[in-house]
Amino acid sequence: MTKTFCNKCGKELKYSDHRKVELTVRPYTTYGGRFNLDYCESCFKEFIGEEEYNAMIQREAEHKKRVEERKKEKELAQ
């Protein structure tokens, strides 16, 4: 297994503390403008800003809840 390190602080990333970021920078040339970055949770939060981060965490929680609900509905239907 290859090790992944945070692009910002250099910390080794574990599965639970790893945010993959695909970044497109504009305006860009054909030579670049696209980045695949790996961040730890705290650097990721710093990177996108507290407001966006909190909004994303909320969306994640809602998504998880919906998945759970769907799972339960399936179980009940059986």
CA distance 41 to 6: 9
Which of the ranges 6-14, 21-29, 48-56, 64-72 carries the binding residues for Zn ion, by CB under 5 A? 6-14
What is the Cα gyration radius of the chain? 17
Out of 9, 23, 55, 67, point to the residue binding Zn ion (CB under 5 A).
9
CB of 46 to Zn ion, least distance (A): 8
CA distance 17 to 39: 8
The answer to whether residue 43 forms part of the interface with Zn ion (CB under 5 A) is yes
Locus of tokens 């980045």: 35
CB of 57 to Zn ion, least distance (A): 17
Q: In the chain, what is the straight-line distance between the N-terminal and C-terminal CA atoms, in Å?
A: 39
State both tokens at 17.
């503390």
CB of 18 to Zn ion, least distance (A): 10
Residues lying near Zn ion in the complex (CB under 5 A): 6, 8-9, 11, 40, 43
